[in-house]
Amino acid sequence: MQAVQCHQFGPVSDLTVESISLPQPGPHEIRIQTHACGVNFPDALMVQGKYQLTPDFPFTPGCEVAGTVSAIGDQVKHFSVGQKVAAVCQLGGFAEYVVVPAQQVLPVPDFIDMKEAAALITAHATAHHALKQRADLQPGETLVVTGAAGGTGLAAVQIGKAMGARVIAVCSDEAKLALARENGADEGINYSQNDFKEELKRLTNGKGADVVYECVGGATFDTLSRSMAWAGRLLVVGFASGTIPKLPVNLALVKGYALVGVFWGVFTQKSPEVFMQNMQELLGWYQQHKVKVIIDSTYSLNEVSNALQKLTDRAVKGKLVLLP
């Protein structure tokens, strides 16, 4: 089969597509013929050696797929060959086939196509877990979303609105803000043209943010760490700027807010039942048009470097999808 291969950490342009052996499922695993695979920022970080996980070489990146069941382990009873499924795989998604633990696979209903099923998983499920389990977002609270035109940012905007929050989108230009507003943002801050801290103060009447969905890091995080409401929750989701910030912990003390880490990949492994419950709720919201998948572009396996470069350049509005 054909698969993207990373032989050493380095630029995304070093990735190759090679023929490798077809993987065989273990007793509790499923092999999926991949029809679509979502492209995510952690994929690019992992290839460059900048992610929390450092796989052994060679490895195939790609953490979310949709496709059909190709083979099942002898202990798997609730799936059948040919069934449409989506899955979280951590690694291996950028390939024609991938083997995944059965507990991380879910059926794909007919009302969602494969591209959107693959693209729904990581971005929307991360935002959902962050806002529901980690932040306990309440109706009427003010939610600030950074990187609000990217895949996970747009998902947080949509889910925040579905949960009844007032959503403030933070973006680098007006086109991105317009997209965030189309997806439910009530207010927008263009930090490249306005004083970020002053705008946030104005839009919250001096109170600050109840919940922040922060996936940029760097100076953006620094500003938000000083702009939290009392009893607020500052969610650490990612560092798209490339700079991992440091928090002066006295700010959390004097402002009475919590810094909350969001590592969705580990959550899916440690709490698979809750993950599946979340996905069922997300699919219900999708069917009710409360959330939707915005696909920026699709790519073949041979174009994987172009896809990851566009992602690292922060030039994506919504999600990118590989079509093996």
What's 206's domain CATH number?
3.40.50.720
pLDDT in tens, 93-105: 999 999 999 999 9
By percentage, how much of the chain surpasses pLDDT 70? 100
pLDDT of residue 315: 86
The DSSP bridge partners found for residue 95 are 3
Q: Domain ends where: 220, 245, 264?
A: 264
pLDDT-derived band of residue 300, with 50, 70 and 90 as boundaries? very high
Which pLDDT belongs to residue 242? 79
Residue 132 pLDDT: 98
- For residue 259, pLDDT beyond 90: yes
In this prediction, residue 240 carries a pLDDT of 82
Tell me the backbone φ, ψ of residue 86, rounded to 5 degrees.
Answer: -130, 155
The answer on 43 and 90 residing in a single domain is: yes
Q: Are residues 139 and 175 in the same domain?
A: yes
Residues 10 and 46 in one domain: yes
Let me know whether 259 and 170 are in one domain: yes
What is residue 84's predicted lDDT score, i.e. its pLDDT?
97
Position 287 in a domain:
no
Check whether residue 84 and residue 190 sit in a common domain.
no
| Residue 241 in this model has a pLDDT that exceeds 90 | no
What is the C-alpha separation between 295 and 170, in angstroms, rounded? 20
- If we measure between CA atoms, which residue out of 31, 53, 30 comes closest to residue 40? 53
The letter for the amino acid at 117 is A
pLDDT for position 289: 93
Residue 253 lies in a domain: yes
Q: How many domains does the chain have?
A: 2
169 occurs within a structural domain: yes
Q: Which alpha helices (DSSP H) does the chain contain, by range?
A: 41-47, 114-129, 151-162, 174-182, 196-203, 218-225, 249-255, 264-270, 272-287, 304-312
Domain co-membership, 134 together with 225: yes
What is the chain's mean pLDDT, rounded?
A: 94
Pairing of strands 29-39, 319-322: antiparallel
Q: Please tell me the predicted confidence (pLDDT) of residue 10.
A: 95
Q: What is the pLDDT of residue 90?
A: 86
Q: Let me know if residue 138 belongs to a domain.
A: yes
270 assigned to some structural domain:
no
Length of the chain as a residue count: 324
DSSP-assigned beta bridge partners for residue 36: 66
Q: Mean pLDDT throughout 188-211?
A: 94
Q: Are residues 172 and 130 in the same domain?
A: yes
- Confidence at residue 52, expressed as pLDDT on a 0 to 100 scale: 80
Tell whether the torsion through CA atoms of 306, 188, 219 and 209 is positive or negative.
negative
Distance, CA of 21 to CA of 23 (rounded, Å)? 6
Mean pLDDT, to the nearest integer, of 45-59? 91
Phi then psi for residue 43, to 5 deg, are -60, -45
For the chain, percent of residues with pLDDT exceeding 90? 87
Domain-embedded: residue 116: no
pLDDT of residue 97: 98
pLDDT band at 72 (very low <50, low <70, confident <90, very high): very high
Strand-strand pairing, 166-171 and 142-146: parallel
Query: Given the structure tokens 């810094």, which residue do they identify?
Result: 259
- Can you give the residue range of the structural domain that contains 260? 125-264
Spatial separation of the C-alpha atoms in residues 241 and 235, rounded to whole Å: 16
- Domain membership of residue 278 (yes or no) is no
Among the ranges given (115-124, 164-173, 239-248), the one the predictor scored with the smallest mean pLDDT: 239-248
**Are 97 and 218 within one domain?**
no
Give the pLDDT confidence score for residue 152 in this predicted structure: 92
pLDDT at res. 85 = 97
> Residue 251: pLDDT band by 50, 70, 90 thresholds?
very high
144 and 246 in a single domain? The answer is yes
Residue after which a domain boundary falls, among 243, 264, 285: 264
**Six token digits for residue 242:** 């490339």
Contact 224, 209 (CB under 8 A): yes
Q: Would residue 120 count as lying in a domain? A: no
Averaged pLDDT for residues 173-202: 93
Statement: residue 51 has pLDDT above 90: no
Look at residue 324 and tell me whether its pLDDT is greater than 90: yes
Q: Tokens for 48?
A: 């460059």
In terms of domains, do 181 and 73 share one? no
Same domain, 129 and 82: no
136: left (phi over 0), alpha (psi -120 to 50) or beta: left
Residues 176 and 78 reside in one and the same domain: no
CATH of the domain at 81: 3.90.180.10
